[in-house]
């Protein structure tokens, strides 16, 4: 068994993070704009989002954390499940379940956001999580033990 290549893990995590960040922009900043505008108008002054630049920075950090978790999950699964896209898909599914599905279910249960935003976001991030971890896993190679 090889040793974990930390540099390649970090590279894969950054690639996954970029994909997740762009996906978040497409999902929430393009597809769901009408739903978010309606929600914001309905909530009025009861919501207090961060200024746009600060929110983008927070989402960049969140994407980096999620990308790192996705890649570390893949790296941890490789010895048992083997390297390749099947293992990357499983790791991406685990990332999605932990980072996107469970919070979405909690938001749905508490009525924090409209169901349309939750469902579209959840489906969008399922696709994004799978693509992100596959892309990051493609860049990962273990060091050969010497």
Question: What average pLDDT is seen over the chain?
Answer: 95
How far, in Å, CA of 37 to CA of 29, rounded?
11
Closest CA to 11 of 77, 67, 87, 92: 67
Per-residue pLDDT tens over the stretch 119-133 = 999 999 999 999 999
How far, in Å, CA of 92 to CA of 70, rounded?
6
Q: Most distant CA pair in the chain: distance in Å?
A: 62
pTM above 0.85, yes or no: yes
Per-residue pLDDT tens over the stretch 85-97 = 999 999 999 999 9
Per-residue pLDDT tens over the stretch 49-74 = 999 999 999 999 999 999 999 999 99
The pLDDT > 90 percentage for the chain reads: 93
How far, in Å, CA of 30 to CA of 32, rounded?
6
């Amino acid at each position: 068994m090889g040793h974990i290549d930390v540099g390649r893990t970090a590279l894969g995590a950054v690639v996954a993070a970029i994909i997740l960040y762009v996906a978040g922009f497409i999902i929430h900043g393009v597809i769901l704009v009408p739903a978010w505008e309606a929600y914001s108008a309905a909530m009025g002054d009861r919501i207090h989002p961060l200024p746009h630049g600060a929110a983008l920075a927070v989402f960049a950090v969140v994407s980096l954390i999620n990308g790192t978790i996705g890649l570390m999950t893949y790296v941890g699964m490789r010895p048992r499940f083997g390297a390749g896209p099947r293992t990357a898909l499983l790791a991406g599914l685990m990332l999605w379940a932990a980072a996107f599905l469970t919070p979405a279910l909690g938001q749905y249960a508490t009525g924090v956001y409209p169901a349309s935003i939750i469902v579209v976001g959840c489906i969008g991030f399922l696709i994004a999580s799978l693509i992100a971890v596959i892309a990051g896993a493609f860049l990962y190679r273990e060091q050969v033990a010497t």
